[in-house]
Structure 1
C-alpha cells in the first residue's frame, strides 16, 4: 500500500520505488522470539526515496 508523499514535486527513486530503507532479518530467533534485523539503505537515493532531477545541458551551434 503506497504512502502519502510530502514532496510531491520530486520524482520517486527508480531503484527502490520510494521505499528507501528496509529491514533484513539476520537468522534464527532469539530466546524471546524476536529476530535481529539490519537496516539496508538504497544506495541510489541515499535513503531519501526521491531521485535527483538531472540537469541536461545542450549546446547548439549554428553554422554560418
Structure 2
C-alpha cells in the first residue's frame, strides 16, 4: 500500500525545484568530453525550495 508523503516546503517558483543545471560551454576538453559549468537558481540560491513562509502568504504580505 503506497504511503503518500507531503513536501515539507514549497518548490521554488523560478526553477520549479530543479535548482542546479549543467550548461555546456561549446568547448571540449583535451580528452574529447564537453566542457560544462554548473548554474544555480539565483532566487533560491540552489536549494530548490521557496523561502516564503506560509504564515506570510496567508497574511497577504
TM-score, structure 1 normalization = 0.67
Q: How many residues align?
A: 52
The structure with the largest strand share of the pair is 2
Residue 29 of structure 1: how far off its partner (Å):
2.3
Residue 32 of structure 1: how far off its partner (Å):
1.8
Which deviations, in whole Å up to 9, do the C-alpha atoms of 1:11-59 show, x marking residues without a partner? 000110100000111113233220111110100000000001242557x
Moved over 6 A (4+): none
TM-score, structure 2 normalization = 0.69
Instruction: Show structure 1 runs of 5+ residues with no match.
Output: 1-6, 59-64
Give the match for residue 39 of structure 2: 40
Instruction: Show structure 2 runs of 5+ residues with no match.
Output: 1-5
Residue 8 of structure 1: how far off its partner (Å):
1.6
The structure with the largest helix share of the pair is 2
Question: What root-mean-square deviation, in Å, do the aligned CA atoms of Structure 1 and Structure 2 show?
Answer: 2.0
